[in-house]
Amino acid sequence: MTSSLLTPSDTLDRQARPAAAARPDSEPLVHISNFRMDFGRTTVIRDLSFDINRGETFGFLGSNGSGKTTTIRALLGIYQATAGVLHINGRPFAPEDGARLGYLPEERGLYKKESVIDVMTYFGRLKGLSKAAAVAWSHEYLERVALGDKAKVRLDKLSGGQQQKVQLGVTIMNDPELLILDEPTKGFDPVNRKLLMDIIEDQKRAGATVLMVTHQMEEVERLCDRVVLLKNGEVEAYGTVEAVQDQYGGTVVRLQYSGEIPASRHYTVTRRESTYAELTVTAPVDEALILRELMDAGVIVRGFTAGRPSLDDIFVAVYGDQNTAGTDETAGE
Amino acid sequence: MARHNLGTVISFEVTRTFKKKQFWLTTLLVPVILGIVIALIVISNTTTESKVDSQKDATLRFTYSDASGRIDPTLAAAFGGTVAADEAQAVADVKSGKSAAYFAYPAKPTKQATMVYGADLGIFDNGKYSSVATKLMVASAQAEIGDQTLTGLARGSFQVDAITYKDGAVSGGFLGAVAPLLFLLIFYVVIVMLGNQMLTSTLEEKENRVTEMILTTLNPTTLITGKIISLFIIGIVQMVVFILPVLVGYLFFRTSLSLPDVDLSQLIVNPGQMVVGALLLIGGFTLFMGTLVAAGAIMPTAKEASQVFGIMMALVFVPLYAASLVVSDPHALIVQLFTFFPYSAPVTAMLRNGLGSLSPVESGIVIAELFILGGIVLRLAVQLFRYGSVEYSKKVSLRTVFARSRG
């Protein structure tokens, strides 16, 4: 994937795009403060506040049913917030305001009975492109994702992976300044997962702000500048990935070993496999002391590294006591 | 104020419908069938006319006896008849095939039956015996009267034109009802043909999981308004396609089709009735379409939503059960109920408006009721679409929707 796929094409009719009101770069692009969401007597979000700065990639994390999708729907005006402020570009989102938004919802699809080019052109027109620009952009995109010969084919005649490519194309039409991706890799095959990752990185390079909801912690560590962790309708942790890792403590020792790891007051074993283990350091001691302790106990150490806990570890630590089964975000609302 | 992206929605919805083969197959099926029927009628009528012409030339040879003394022998001879010497023999000759037919005119033809005997020519052609026997008697009677006008009057062959007045002005009668009743026809065609399409049209976003992407590019009110306007345009196109063969048939094959020669200049168009009819049509259309959108937003699939469509269709047709009362006694309780109950009001009120029995006060009440309720239902439908259609596979309760919209 080249960056030209995702950067604005020369064929785009820029004059046709309604420009969002220019705002200082210092102001966050997304501002959520004291957001509360009740569904009848059920409170889904108690008090949520965070900002997303322009140009950053932001991870919105939480277990299933924690209210992530609800927050995004409220941010996009699909739900009406019970209380609080949810702003994009300094005001509540309204489609007619002309903010350039690319949204890939968790529940996603397109008009299956229509041709690829008709659907892409329709969304391009809805997003403010002229018809000619939308058609030209669509053809260019389809060529680059090897679907050039499928432009006139009905969507339901395409394979699942091909449909996903079209979906991604629709999401990034009109050069979005804010890209909201809700469980973006859900249901994607490895090829499209790679395409998506390329898209996100290209969008970042092009200066877009990206809001990602995902359970794939390695993607968050790789792509996100900052994250917020949502638990029980409130912020559990918020900041840069490193700051959140530091907040959750302690050093984690990753061990390649054989033998029996002894119990110790200096660490707890948080993960144990036959030849690999992770120990969370619980006392203010040097890692070398732990290594000596292990070797004294007869453990044969083949590999020893110490570092911050992974987001995966933190996720398990934070949500381990919650039932994260299921996929329907709104099921528990 | 122009709605953001309304034109794009209308263009997309109309274009994609017109691009579908299924649409044209369905739409053209009606005129094609009508065209075939018209062609068959024209062909068969032409054949019949040629046959009649050829039969006219071939004179029927028959015998007859006349106990009444009314038959003119000269006319009878001209018709191909000869006097039978013996009644029983004449019948026997017909039986044996020696004679084609025998007519026995009784002494009192107005009180006794004239007997006709003939060789069997088939169900349809056997009618010519009675026809010739009757014509001979009529021609003989006319000859006896000796005055064409008097004969015509005696047969009731004269025209009567009625002029009636209402509020000091000439009222239209049937010709006055035709124009305003066209709105009722449009209402039926649009609702029956497109109602289900409206229901599935909004369900489409839900079933295809496209709702959220759509709602971030345009307002739900715009989407639904666009869909309703698109359907109205599609409905008008369908009606034109349906009407075309009828018009062609009327203009070029009126005689063959035995269609009445309607003098359109005689149609009476009352501007007041037309305005009321148009407003009832728009109000009723809004109410029904809004209700169908709301049903589409609540139901998870087209199959489940079709149950609602069935109920809506019943409400459209129920007033027809009281049609005779609407005509004969518009103030009957049931007619009043149908006039003011919102879902039976459009049909009943349009019918009464066409027949001239809907008072200005009643018109005002029904129109206001339809527009107010239509507006409320449309707003409700938008809310249901906004909150209900993101529930995708679930059937949504109104309580849930309002819980979400209130926050």
Digit-coded pLDDT (tens) for B126-168: 888 898 999 899 889 988 888 878 888 877 878 887 777 766 7
Taking CA–CA distances from A37, the nearest residue in chain B reads B407
pLDDT score of B400: 65
Cβ-defined contact of B214 to A77 (cutoff 8 Å): no
Query: Does the beta-carbon distance from B407 to A109 stay under 8 Å?
Result: no
One domain, residues A176 and A299 = no
Position A8 scores a pLDDT of 36
Return the bridge partners of A178, or none: A101, A209
Which secondary structure element, helix H or strand E, spans residue A98, and what is its range? none
Chain A residues in contact with B219 (beta carbon < 8 A): 94-96
pLDDT in tens, B263-319: 667 677 788 889 999 999 999 988 998 888 888 777 777 777 777 788 888 888 888
**Residue B83 predicted with pLDDT over 90:** yes
Contact of A101 with chain B, judged by CB distance below 8 Å, is answered with yes
Q: Scanning every residue of chain B, which has its alpha carbon at the shortest distance from the alpha carbon of A18?
A: B4
User: Are A194 and A256 part of one and the same domain?
Assistant: no
Task: Indicate if A216 and A265 belong to the same structural domain.
Answer: no
* Pair (A147, A270) in one structural domain: no
pLDDT under 50 in chain A at which residues? 1-21, 324-333
Domain match, A302 and A157 both: no
Same domain for A155 and A255, yes or no, is no
What is the Cα–Cα distance from A63 to A76, expressed in whole angstroms? 21
Contacts 24+ apart (CB under 8 A), B263-270: B266/B175, B267/B172, B267/B175, B267/B176, B267/B178, B267/B179, B268/B170, B268/B171, B268/B172, B268/B175, B268/B176, B268/B179, B269/B179, B270/B172, B270/B176, B270/B179, B270/B180
What number is the average pLDDT over the span B334-360? 90
Q: Please report the pLDDT score of residue A320 as a whole number.
A: 67
Model confidence at B3, pLDDT cuts 50, 70, 90, reads low
Q: Is residue A267 part of a domain?
A: yes
- State how far the Cα of A129 lies from the Cα of A113, in Å rounded to an integer: 23
Whole-number pLDDT of residue B399: 67
Is a pLDDT exceeding 70 seen at residue B258?
no
Say how far apart CA B346 and CA B277 lie, in whole Å: 9
A95, B391: Cβ pair inside 8 Å? no
Whether residue A20 is contained in a domain is answered as yes
Give me the mean pLDDT over the B244-258 stretch: 76
Q: In what order do the strands lie in the sheet with A252-258?
A: A267-272, A276-281, A252-258, A300-307
Question: Does A174 lie in the same domain as A27?
Answer: yes
Domain identity same for A264 and A178: no
In sequence order, the 6+-apart residues with CB closer than 8 A to the CB of B224 are B202, B293, B378, B381, B382, B385
Three-state secondary structure call for residue A19: coil
Q: Hey, are the CB atoms on A39 and B8 less than 8 Å from each other?
A: no
User: Which chain A residues are Cβ-neighbours of B16 within 8 angstroms?
Assistant: 111, 114, 118
- Domain end call among A243, A262, A278: A243
Distance from CA of A124 to the nearest CA of B (A): 10
Write out the residue range of the structural domain in which residue A301 sits.
250-307
Tell the CATH topology of B59-154: D-Maltodextrin-Binding Protein; domain 2 (3.40.190)
Q: pTM for this structure?
A: 0.71
Whether A214 and A268 map to the same domain: the answer is no
| pLDDT: which is higher, B387 or A90 | A90
Does the CB of A105 have a partner CB in chain B at under 8 Å?
yes
Q: Is A203 found in the same domain as A78?
A: yes
Residue among A93, A109, A126 minimizing CB distance to B8: A126
Q: What is the pLDDT of residue B404?
A: 57
Q: Does residue A164 fall inside a structural domain? A: yes
Best of A30, A78, A154, A168 to substitute, by most chain B Cβ atoms within 10 angstroms, is A78
Which letter, b or e, does each residue of B276-286 get, where b requires 16 or more Cβ atoms within 10 Å of its Cβ? bbebbbbbbbb
Domain for residue A9, yes or no? yes
pLDDT in tens, B160-177: 877 777 667 766 666 777
pLDDT at A333: 37
* In a shared domain, residues A149 and A188: yes
User: How many residue pairs bridge chain A and chain B with CB atoms within 8 Å of each other?
Assistant: 92
The pLDDT value recorded for residue B401 is 63
Which string of b and e fits A22-33 if b means at least 16 CB within 10 Å? Answer: eeeeeebbbbbe
The burial class, CB within 10 Å (0-12 / 13-18 / 19+), for B265 is exposed
For chain B, give the percent of residues with pLDDT over 90.
Answer: 27
- pLDDT tens digit string along B182-199? 899 888 888 887 887 778
Does residue B66 belong to the interface with chain A, where contact is any CB pair within 8 Å?
no
Q: Is residue A31, in this structure, part of any structural domain at all?
A: yes
Question: Where are the domains positioned within chain B?
Answer: 59-154, 172-406
Question: In this complex, do B219 and A107 lie within 8 Å of one another by their Cβ atoms?
Answer: no
Q: Based on the fold, state whether residues A9 and A158 are members of the same structural domain.
A: yes
Tell me which chain A residues have a C-beta less than 8 angstroms from the C-beta of B406: 80, 82
Q: Which of A243, A273, A289 is the last residue of a domain?
A: A243
Per-residue pLDDT tens digits for B40-55: 877 776 666 666 556 5
Pairwise CA distance, residues B292 & B307, whole Å: 11
- Considering the domain boundaries, does residue A316 fall inside one? no
